[in-house]
Amino acid sequence: MSLRNGPRGHASGRGVPLAAVLQAVSQDVGSQAGCAQSMSGPFRGVRSRLPPERCLGEAGQRRCPRVRRCPGRRSLPRTALQCGHRGVRLAREGRAARRRSRDRRGGSAAGPAAAGRPGEFLAAVRAVRRVALSESRHPVPSYPTLFYSILSCPVRPALAMGSTPPVFIGAEEVEKHLHRASLLLPALEAALANFSGGAAGGVVQPVRTVLPVPRHGGYLGVMPAYSAADDALTTKLVTFYEHLKDSSVPSHQATVLLFEPSNGTLKAVLDGSVITAKRTAAVSAIATKLLMPPFAEVLCILGAGVQAYSHYDIFTELFPFKEVRIWNRTKERAVRFASAVSGPVRVCSSAQEAVTGADVIVTVTMATAPILFGDWVKPGAHINAVGASRPDWRELDDELMKNSVLFVDSRDAALTESGDVILSGAEIFAELGEVLKGTKPALPEKTTVFKSLGMAVEDTVAAKFVYDAWSAGN
C-alpha cells in the first residue's frame, strides 16, 4: 500500500511506501516538527489519545493541552484552548464544520493529498494506524495527529522515493564472489573490445584524474566509466603511495561506487582493492594469451606485493609454466611470497638473474626508475609492465621499449600517464582491444610489451559481476 501525494510537493507524483510513512510519523512524534500531544494547522486544539507519560516531548509547544506534563518542555503559559474540555470540544467542532463546508464547495481541509478523493486518503490513514498499532514499537498517535503528520511532516526524500540505502560489500565478500580472477575473463575481453570500438562500443570513460598529495607522497585517482553493453555505471576512488613507512598498509587502496544508471542512485559501495588486483591480473592474462611465444615455459615476476600474488594465481591456473621465478627489492618479501603460494617458486637474488631466459615477464613494482633492461630480455619474450603508472615513473629502459612491439590498454591513457611510453618515445602499435576485435595482429613471434595502466571500465564490469553475484545470494 502507498500514499501517492504529499503536502507542499513532498513525494509529489510518487507512491510513498507504507513503511516509509510509519517511519516518518514515528520520527515526527516528539520531534521539532510535531508532538503526539501538540497539533497545529487543521487539528489545532484536538487532544491526543496518548497518555501523558508516553509523550516523547520536545515539540509540545503552542496549544499543547498537556504541555505542563510533557517532559520535553518547561512550563508555558496556558491559553484558553489548553484549559478544560470545553475549549477543546469547541475548537474541534468548529474545525469539523469548516471542513464540511469546504468539502461541499469541492475543496478539502486536508490539502492536496486528500483533495478530490478524501475517502481514499482517509482509508489510507486508517490502514496506516492499524498497521502501526499491530507492528510499531513506538507510541502510536491518534487519528488526527497521524492524519496531519502524514500531510505536513517532511517525509525524508530518500524514503519518499522508495529508495533503499546502498549496500556495502567488503573485501571478504568480494573475495567470496570473485575467488578466481579468471571468472572475469569473458566480461573483460568484451569490455576491452568495446572500449577500442569507439562510440559504437558504448564505453564512456575519461582518462583517470589524479590528485597529488605531496606532503605524504601519495596520490588519489578518480576513475568513472559507463558501459552500455553491461548497463553499468561506476566510479573508483584509488589511492597509491610511493614509500610507506608502515609496511602493513597496502601501497594501493581502492573503493568502487556502483550506481543505478537509469536514475543515478547509489546501489553499492564495494571494497576496490580485491577488484583492482583481480581485474588487473586478468587483463595481463588476456594479453599474455594473445602475445606470449608458443611453448612458453618460464614465468618471471618482479615484485612481491598484492599484484604479484594475483598474477601468480591466474597465470599458473591458465598457463603450463614449468618454472616460476621471483625477485623483489627486499628479499625477505620474496621469500615470504615463495612460501605462501601453492607451487614451487625460485627466489632470485637479482632482477637480471630472474629475467634471463624467461619467456613471460611481469613487472609489478613501485619503481620510479628502470629495473628491467633490454639486453637482459630473451628475444621473443612477452612483458606485462603493470607498475610505473605516473608520467615520470619507469620500470623498463629505452632499449626495451623501442625494440619491442608495444601494446596498451588505452592510447590516451598511455600517452598521458605512462612514463615508460612518454619518456622513451616508443610508438604504440595497438590497443589490446584492437587485437581482440581482430583489427590488429598479435605478433607473438616478436618481443612484445603490454603496458597496463588499468581502465575504469575494467572496474565497472568487475564490480557489476560481484554485485550481481552478491544479489543472487541475498
Query: Which range has highest mean pLDDT (134-138, 237-241, 334-338)?
Result: 334-338
Phi first, then psi, for residue 74 (nearest 5°) are -80, 165
- Per-residue model confidence as pLDDT tens digits over 283-295: 999 999 999 999 9
The answer to which of 20-24, 103-107, 123-127, 301-305 has the lowest mean pLDDT is 20-24
| 6 vs 13: CA distance, rounded Å | 8
pLDDT score at 129 = 62
Q: Do the strands 346-347 and 360-363 form a parallel or antiparallel pair, or are they unpaired? A: unpaired
SS (H, E, C) the chain: CEECCCHHHCCCCCCEEHHHHHHHHHHHCCECCEECCECCHHHCCCCCCCCHHHCCCCCCCCCCCCHHHCCCCCCCCCCHHHCHHHHHHHHHHHHHHHHHHHHHCCCCCCCCCCCCCHHHHHHHHHHHHHHHHHHCCCCCCCHHHHHHHHHHCCCCHHHHCCCCCCEEECHHHHHHHCCCHHHHHHHHHHHHHHHHCHHHHCEECCCCEEEEECCCCEEEEEEEEEECCCCEEEEEEEEEECCCCCCCCCCEEEEEEEECCCCCCEEEEEEHHHHHHHHHHHHHHHHHHHHCCCCCCEEEEECCCHHHHHHHHHHHHHCCCCEEEEECCCHHHHHHHHHHCCCCCEECCCHHHHHCCCCEEEECCCCCCCCECHHHCCCCCEEEECCCCCCCCCCECHHHHHCCEEEECCHHHHHHHCHHHHHHCCCEEEEHHHHHHCCCCCCCCCCEEEECCCCHHHHHHHHHHHHHHHHHHC
Predicted confidence band of residue 446 (pLDDT cuts 50, 70, 90): very high
In the block, which residue shows the cell 600517452? 415
pLDDT score at 99 = 72
pLDDT score at 166 = 94
Of residues 36 and 198, the one with the higher pLDDT is 198
pLDDT, average across residues 30-34: 39
* 261 and 232 Cβ atoms separated by less than 8 Å: yes
* 324 and 297 Cβ atoms separated by less than 8 Å: no
Across 359-368, b (16+ Cβ under 10 Å) vs e yields bbbbbbbbbb
* 36 and 48 Cβ atoms separated by less than 8 Å: yes
pLDDT score at 139 = 57
The answer to which of 135-144, 196-205, 275-284, 420-429 has the lowest mean pLDDT is 135-144
* 278 and 270 Cβ atoms separated by less than 8 Å: no
pLDDT, average across residues 200-207: 96
Number of C-beta neighbours around residue 236 at 10 A: 26
pLDDT score at 109 = 43
| 301 vs 309: CA distance, rounded Å | 10
| 457 vs 231: CA distance, rounded Å | 11
For the record, the C-alpha cell of 212 comes out as 597529488
- Per-residue model confidence as pLDDT tens digits over 55-73: 444 344 444 444 444 444 4
pLDDT score at 249 = 81
pLDDT score at 96 = 73
Does residue 212 carry a pLDDT above 70? yes
* 420 and 388 Cβ atoms separated by less than 8 Å: yes
pLDDT score at 159 = 42
Which amino acid is residue 161, in one-letter code?
M
Predicted confidence band of residue 36 (pLDDT cuts 50, 70, 90): very low
The answer to which of 190-194, 250-254, 374-378, 468-472 has the lowest mean pLDDT is 250-254
Predicted confidence band of residue 90 (pLDDT cuts 50, 70, 90): low
Q: Is the pTM of this model over 0.85?
A: no
Return mean pLDDT, the chain.
79
Predicted confidence band of residue 134 (pLDDT cuts 50, 70, 90): low
pLDDT, average across residues 33-47: 40
Of residues 446 and 4, the one with the higher pLDDT is 446
Q: CA angle, 203 as apex, 200 and 206 as ends, to 5°?
A: 125
Picking from 202, 206, 199, the residue whose alpha carbon sits closest to that of residue 222 is 206
Does residue 75 carry a pLDDT above 80? no
In the block, which residue shows the cell 603460494? 341
Q: Which residues contact 16 (CB under 8 A, 6 or more apart)?
A: 2, 3, 4, 6, 155, 159, 160, 162
Of residues 387 and 152, the one with the higher pLDDT is 387
